[in-house]
Amino acid sequence: STQAAPDSCTVVLYGDSILNGGYGGNHRLPEPPAATLRRLRPRYLVKDRTAAGETATARSSTFSTEQRSSHYVVIAHGINDAAQGLAVGPPLRRMVQQAQREGRDVILTGLSRTVVQVPGRASADSDIRLLAKETGAAFVDWDAVSWRAGDMADPIHPGKPYSDRLVERIVQVLDQRAPQCR
């Protein structure tokens, strides 16, 4: 485990609509995941750089030029890449390696569940899991989080109860890595 200094209770979130709390085209959960994380762990300074509809492929093109100061970098991309037939491994690898070169502690999430089948979802989830292992990034297994169709805001996006369970898995990893930030 990485031991973070007390002043490093900082995290930046990158991801698509799942980590953004978006659903139904242009709606957003009343308490999006970043706010849930702040509520669950108020000692953390949380920066939200998520964007609904974003792919890892698109984000990776600007990631190396973005300024970051957070100790932890959470990356939750992949479902849009899978749906568009884009390989998720190479762009995520570039992002992880960039953040690690900066001295940041990277946390990758697997893909959340959907009511409708997303072609390539299982393969992308597996690729993300393997990438975490290869790079030493922490892995949050969103595929293993309990859910049911009634927990969804729409066929792809978590409603509040499921979204909260996904964020709680991120919190578990943060707690392991930085218990002083609880």
Express each pLDDT in 128-172 by its tens digit. Answer: 999 999 999 999 999 999 999 999 999 999 999 999 999 999 999
Q: Tell me the one-letter amino acid at 33.
A: P
pLDDT, tens only, 1-53: 444 443 589 999 999 999 999 999 999 999 999 999 999 999 999 999 999 99
Picking from 167, 141, 163, the residue whose alpha carbon sits closest to that of residue 152 is 163
With H, G, I as helix, E, B as strand and everything else as coil, classify residue 105. strand
DSSP state of 58: H
Strand partners, 45: 10
